[in-house]
Amino acid sequence: MKKQFCLVAASCLAVTGCVIFPGSAPKAEVPQVRPVDGGIDYYEQFGNSLPSSPAYFPVGVWMESVIEPGDVVVDQNIGLNTYAGLTSNSDIKQVIDEGSYAITGWPAPEAAGYMLADEVDMWAGPGSASWSGHYPGEGDVCDPPAAQCGFTVQKELLDAAPPGALLYTNYGKGVTFWESDAEARRFVNDFQDVVSADNYWFTDPFICGPSEGGAALNGGAELPAQDCRLAKNYGWTVERVRALVDPRGSKPVWALIEVGHPFQESRGGFIEGPQIRAAVWSSLIHGARGIVYFNHSFGGDCVSQHVLRESCGDMVRPWVEAVNRQIKDLAPVLNAPFVDDFVSSSQGVDVAAKLHDGGLYLMAGSTISGPQRVEMKLACGEAQTAVVIGEGRSVPISNNTFHDDFADANAVHLYQLVGGDACGLTGGS
């Protein structure tokens, strides 16, 4: 399928083959440089916040604790540098002393950010009724009980947040599937500075249904497993949220990816290592400015709140460590501008280009099951070789065209273009 880079409404996110980068223009005659969402220096506007250095790319873990000496070092060895929702019983001093960063849901002067209510779009709904102060499981959330009060929850938490703090919220299926664009935009734009949404396409037993993935990607019919259980859909989630941000591209969107069995139901099961890697890169290809791993496992043979630290994670941990090393090594590239309309393919891949230090890089992930040989065309530059990063090989380029093999739906290749020029483009970090 031919990938188009186009400016469309959020409803176009369901159209197969349309890779949407919010803020980009209709196809231009020449490639266009587009800064990462929010700009590289976005975090500088907040007190004691995350670094704006090109060498820092947020790789976080969700609602993890730091209690025992050495917990942070264990996490850093996995490649984690940020805690998204550090638990309130944690030793935040250990986090800071070891050089990591913490976003907390409780006031902490040392924290790099403050987290508002998680998935409030689902448990409180898109409304402005009174909030009882209760969270799910504590009693009626809204007053009256049948009303919706998610906007009120976020507003009250926002008003109580530390002044000047970076504010972060993760949303769920309300923003991505169930609510109108106007309701979802209010959640995405009115309360926080960094936003994410969690759609667990590989393990959620319900996400292929007609009111969820089916509503977004299959006209309201059940989404077949071969179209649902795909890494590319993690990129769709990032695009869905990015398309709601107003002005477009004005704030970072992070991605959440599961590393265990996040549902109690046996259906769905555990995510696998290659799936994690592919979901991460699909998110990055589509503009995610941070990765957060959902580190809890509620079903199956191994229930854990610390999947990546415990035996539950033995099978996936090497994959997480490997992809995190790639992210760390390529952080300056990931923080560099995109180049829209530079690379295209008529086949089943999502692909994006980056401009860093005068050179061009490509990130490509398969979008279909089964093996395929893919042709990719470059708009300009006359590069001679595509060095496949981390694979010890290179691919020749002829007439701005090259070919490569993608083994399956989880296949990802990263390229550095060598020779030629950068099409006269400027603005890369």
Predicted pLDDT of residue 29:
57
pLDDT in tens, 174-186: 999 999 999 999 9
Cα 200–248–191 angle (5° rounding)? 70
Q: What is the pLDDT of residue 22?
A: 38
Average pLDDT over residues 85-111: 97
The pLDDT of residue 17 is above 60: no
**pLDDT given at position 27:** 45
Instruction: Specify the CATH superfamily of domain 4-35+337-418.
Output: Golgi alpha-mannosidase II (2.60.40.1180)
Q: What is the dihedral of CA 332, 337, 338, 339, to 10 degrees?
A: -120
The mean pLDDT value for 218-244 works out to 97
CATH tag for 55-116+161-334 (out of 1.20.1250, 2.60.40, 3.30.70, 3.20.20):
3.20.20
Residue type, 179: E
Six-digit token string for 194: 């960094």
Residues shown for the chain? 429
User: For 226-252, what is the mean pLDDT?
Assistant: 98
Q: What digits encode the pLDDT tens for the residues 113-165? A: 999 999 999 999 999 999 999 999 999 999 999 999 999 999 999 999 999 99
State how far the Cα of 126 lies from the Cα of 186, in Å rounded to an integer.
9
Quote the pLDDT of residue 346: 86
Predicted confidence (pLDDT) per residue in 389-400, tens digit: 999 999 999 999
Q: What is the mean pLDDT of the segment spanning 336-365?
A: 97
Beta bridge partners of 407: none
pLDDT attached to residue 428 = 73
The per-residue b/e assignment along 352-380, b for 16 or more CB within 10 angstroms, e otherwise, is bbbbbeebbbbbbbbbbeeebebebebbb
Domain boundaries, the chain: 4-35+337-418, 55-116+161-334
Tell whether the model's pLDDT for residue 19 goes beyond 70.
no
Closest CA to 375 of 412, 403, 410, 394: 403
Alpha helices in 344-385 (DSSP H): none
Tell me what pLDDT residue 174 has: 98
| pLDDT at position 267 | 83
What is d(CA 115, CA 206) in angstroms, rounded to the nearest whole number? 27
Pairwise CA distance, residues 3 & 17, whole Å: 5
Question: Considering only CA atoms, which of 136, 127, 199, 196 is closest in space to residue 168?
Answer: 196
pLDDT at 182: 98
Helix, strand, coil percentages (3-state) for the chain, rounded to 5, are 25, 25, 50
Fold match between 4-35+337-418 and 55-116+161-334? no
Sign of CA dihedral 125, 126, 128, 133: positive
pLDDT of residue 62: 98
